Structure 1
Amino acid sequence: MQDILERLNAGEVVVGDGGMVLQLERRGYVKAGHWTPEAAVQHPEAVHQLHREFLRAGADVLQTFTFYCSEDKLELSGNVTDITGAEINEAACDLAREKWLKGSALVAGCVSQTPCYLGNHNEAEVKSLFKKQMDEFLKKDIDFFIAEFFQYVEEAAWAVEVLKTSGKTVGATMCISPHGDMSGLPPGDCAVRLVKAGADIVGVNCHLDPTACIQTVNGYMGLPEFPFVVLLSSLSLICRSLTRWDVHKYAREAYEAGIRYIGGCCGFEAYHIRAISEELRAERGFLPPASEKHGLWGAALEMHTKPWVRARAHREYWESLLPASGRPKCPSMATPEYE
């Protein structure tokens, strides 16, 4: 397979995978609040199944299930098992590289923000945590690195500096808004700092909706220093979940903004990734296997027994639909009971 930079520099669309931590929490494999990835060792079949679903939905990249896998985070989260960070990192790489998946997608080794940074801002200590993870990934020969979910550009830049010593491509994504990182540095300045640290790919992920994510990325792109491609992920949660049609719009707007690496984060399920793949089918030149029985824009509904459902089997219906929350007295629509 081509290196990710070769594909992006050729103008290809690269589809990322979706959110694994929240999906596994919903299925009972991850503890909410801690969000640490022991499941890669304890329940590898669950992690493997998610990889398969995202791959079938059209993902070109599978990220290792290593979110919050630095040793300090595992200790802080009360990891009382005998499972080490090294075991989790290595197992996660094996799962993404498993025989059934191998050769079908690029594998990205992922590191994320550390409690150590917030605790003491000790550059040497923080970098040592990233280097430990990097060395574990390199044993498994992952394709490239992603430093994801950083709120402070300083820590993200430290991660990039360490990961670049591997000689592999490095992407860096921050969970920031159009207002910038937690220290108040604007998105454009964050992007420049990441590039100067050595990042080949920069972008945003998590915390905000797709529209805000695209606005933030545009804050990156409005600079004369913009010589890099962009990785974009975003957020959907249970009661505020994006519909597949929302994701069609998100994928098109991201593509029109010049973004070529498009994926999902917390709450993004396989059908969201499938929607990205379907929206950009002309640009990619194919549909994913998960679209075989689905039908674009609900076309498969033409076979439904009820005429009012058959009437929904077209794009115009779903693009104009304004879904209700489905929840009685939804807070966004409720009226106060007292003045």
Structure 2
Amino acid sequence: MSHSTGGGRGGRRPCGGSFTKCPSYQEGAGKAAVQAQIRQQLQFIKDKVDFLIAELYFCVEEIEWAIEEALKTGMVVAATMAIGETGDMAGVPAGECAVRMAKAGAQVVGVNCMFDPDTTVRTIQAMKTALDAAGLSPYLMTQPNGFHCPGVGKEGYLSCPEFPYAMEPRLVTRFDVHRYARAAYDIGVRYIGGCCGFEPHHVRAIAEEMAEERGKMPPASDKHQPWGKSLKRHYMDFIRERAGREYWENLVPSCGRLQPPTHGYNPSPDNDLQ
């Protein structure tokens, strides 16, 4: 499916194959059992993927074992952990996790899912600092989730009371994604993407923010103008004033609720007035 849809304009795009953590690790079955399950997952390489992505790992020890097994294919291996600034589930700091992934042989290291773009940027900065100190220079990769979830613990957005069925009010805007992409790029990240919660317009925002660096706009921008520039033609004056980067970059969006949401909130007119 990826090969059939990834061509588009300009020919075939690189196709990555991802694999993830194994039940056998949580069960304490040991390295051999974990790597056996990794080999089962890696059977997809027969479908001619171009590189491998080990993703959504909570413990650096397990991803080290995964990288070791994946490298036996002879393919490029990217390794990303689902961690924030505080490190993995075993208490290993984020920077040390990055160093260990690189030393295990991953050519690309980083983080994916579980945490929002702001947390992800801070985490990859900690990783970059540790990698620089260790004299290591793998490529960097970030794929945050698309929901604002500041202050969560190691479980990330899973610990939000709204997870999983009421996360929409936490969704990041396309302008949040512009800022995230620029911040990640400035740190040195060159594989910039998104995970759960990211929609097509978010991915387009990444490509639009990176248009100068890439030397082109994405095909999806043919009928779209970044930063609301198309509003210049709106029939209402006050809407036309919102056309441009300055307005949207400085906007702090509201969730539309009249008070902080609680499980017992009764949205009646009387309560709203109070």
The TM-score, its normalising length taken from structure 2, stands at 0.83
Alignment partner, residue 196 of structure 1: 103
Residue deviations 1:49-106, cap 9 Å, x none?
A: xxxxxxxxxxxxxxxxxxxxxxxxxxxxxxxxxxxxxxxxxxxxxx111166374321
1:162-311 mapped onto 2 (5 Å cutoff): 162-223=69-130, 224-225=133-134, 226-237=136-147, 238-311=168-241
1:293–1:300 Cα contact (<8 Å) kept: no
Residue deviations 1:141-179, cap 9 Å, x none?
A: 100000000000111111111110010100000011111
Percent identity at matched positions?
A: 43
1:175–1:204 Cα contact (<8 Å) kept: yes
1:65-76 mapped onto 2 (5 Å cutoff): none
| TM-aligned CA distance change 1:326 to 1:99, over 3 Å | closer
Residue deviations 1:188-221, cap 9 Å, x none?
A: 2111211122111000011111121111111111
Alignment partner, residue 63 of structure 1: none
1:108–1:146 Cα contact (<8 Å) kept: yes
Q: Distance in 1 between matches of 2:258 and 2:29?
A: 46
Work out which structure has the larger RCO, using CA pairs closer than 8 Å and 6 or more positions apart in sequence: 1
2:52–2:77 Cα contact (<8 Å) kept: yes
Q: Aligned-pair distance for 1:330?
A: 3.5
Consecutive unaligned residues in structure 1, runs of 5 or more: 1-94
Give the superposed CA RMSD: 1.9
Match for 2:174: what amino acid? Answer: R
Q: Aligned-pair distance for 1:328?
A: 4.3
Q: 1:202 is paired with a residue of what secondary structure?
A: strand
2:22–2:38 Cα contact (<8 Å) kept: no
Q: What count of residue pairs does the alignment treat as equivalent? A: 240
Alignment partner, residue 58 of structure 1: none
Q: Distance in 2 between matches of 1:274 and 1:127?
A: 36
| TM-aligned CA distance change 1:305 to 1:287, over 3 Å | same
Moved more, 198-207 or 220-229: 220-229
| TM-aligned CA distance change 1:100 to 1:281, over 3 Å | closer
Alignment partner, residue 42 of structure 1: none
Q: Distance in 2 between matches of 1:219 and 1:195?
A: 14
Match for 1:153: what amino acid? Answer: V
Residue deviations 1:277-312, cap 9 Å, x none?
A: 111110011011111111121111112222221111
Q: Distance in 2 between matches of 1:100 and 1:206?
A: 22
Residue deviations 1:244-292, cap 9 Å, x none?
A: 1111111111111111110001101111111111111100110111111
Alignment partner, residue 248 of structure 2: 318
1:133-148 mapped onto 2 (5 Å cutoff): 133-134=41-42, 136-148=43-55
Q: 1:189 is paired with a residue of what secondary structure?
A: helix
Q: 2:64 is paired with a residue of what secondary structure?
A: helix
Consecutive unaligned residues in structure 2, runs of 5 or more: 148-167, 266-270
Q: Distance in 1 between matches of 2:29 and 2:184?
A: 34
- Structure 1 stretches of at least 4 aligned residues deviating more than 4 Å after TM superposition: none
Q: Distance in 2 between matches of 1:247 and 1:240?
A: 13
Q: Distance in 2 between matches of 1:98 and 1:329?
A: 47
Q: Distance in 2 between matches of 1:326 and 1:236?
A: 19
| TM-aligned CA distance change 1:99 to 1:324, over 3 Å | closer
The TM-score, its normalising length taken from structure 1, stands at 0.67
Q: Distance in 2 between matches of 1:208 and 1:321?
A: 22
2:24–2:34 Cα contact (<8 Å) kept: yes
| TM-aligned CA distance change 1:197 to 1:246, over 3 Å | same
